[in-house]
Amino acid sequence: MTALTISPPVSSSRLNYLDSLRAIAVVLVIGIHALSYVLDLSLNQRIWLSLGLTTVAVPIFFLADGYLLARGVERKAFSYAAFISNSVKRLLVPWFLFTVLYTLCRYILERAGVFPDYLIVGASAPLVALKAYGAVFSAQLYFLFSLFVIRLFSSLFVRLYRLQSAAVFYLVSLAVIVSGNLCLTLASPYLAIPNGQEPILHAIWGVQFYVLGLVLARAGEALISKPMLALQALIFFTMLFLYKGLSLDSHIFLQYAALLFMFSAMMKINPDNRVLNYIGTNTMEIYLLHSPVILKAVSMAAVFIGLGGIAGFGITVVITLMLSLLAANILKRLPFGPMLFGVFGQKS
């Protein structure tokens, strides 16, 4: 499936641990967006929820894509033209269609007086186009464009992965990660879109996790030996403690520690859970559909019946997830429905 999943349809050859990771990640993404709708959370609750949700949610998707690229080139020859052609269908088509759809929804609701602030009505066409590109109307859509930008450099990543010397591979990977963060710092003032998510800027940010996926693929089962898992757990919990206890910004270290430990733990367990597998194989659909319409409707219903706090937040996330899956199943049964999610040549 997918922009968020480039592995084949469900089969015995699927990587259950990767599906489980993606399932967790997409639930975390829903949680990130739900935070802005659940207002009666304490400051402390909001801080820790934000930390838990944002640390690994989107990075997992970049990491998984890099990991799958590496696994793919291990099995067969890499065709750049075919890979990019497939990426256009899997990523750019859904990005364009849902960007247009959510922009139209926003315009209609502004005309109907639902929103007190106008982002489209009265704005120039170029400004509306810039806001649409920057995911102002649908905060999650930037990811598809960002991942496509990263995939444009896939031939370089394949060359990196195929370096014969392990030492050279790890050193170059580290250099890419460090230089990517430097480029992010330099580019941020020039590429930022107010109240939006600039896709190219996020592609620069995502490269480090994409390369981390290559590193994890190269490391293979060495990651899941008992001593390595124990070391990863120790590092992760140490960084979690330091994040709270130190004044310096240790978030990036916590982020890498969490990603490494989560990936290795899932790889070791390799859970064959039907719920996680189902969510993991439908991450594209959930990601595209959960916000803004479904999440907004669920949050309004929660407020109407008096659900709030942590309980209201959790229920909002779960109901949004379930309705997104339901909507996806309905849409995929319609003529051309699968095309909405980047799937071509498949009967609805």
pLDDT at 43 over 70: yes
Report whether 120 contacts 110 (CB < 8 A): yes
Q: What is the dihedral of CA 85, 87, 92, 95, to 10 degrees?
A: 160
Mind listing the pLDDT tens digit for each residue in 222-268? 999 999 999 999 999 988 887 765 544 568 889 999 999 999 999 99
Cα of 88 vs its chain's centroid, Å: 18
Listed residue (345, 339, 341, 210) closest to 281, CA to CA: 341
Separation of alpha carbons 213 and 342, rounded Å: 23
What's residue 243's pLDDT? 74
CA distance 277 to 195: 34
- 345 — pLDDT class (breaks 50, 70, 90): confident
**Within a 10 A sphere around the Cβ of 293, how many other Cβ atoms?**
17
CA 304 to each of CA 73, 271, 312: distance values in angstroms, whole numbers, following the listed order: 52, 38, 11
CA distances from 78 to 10, 102, 154, 168, 335 (A): 22, 35, 10, 21, 32
Q: Are 287 and 321 contacting, i.e. CB atoms less than 8 angstroms apart?
A: no
Q: Is the pLDDT of residue 218 over 90?
A: yes
Model's pTM, two decimal places? 0.92
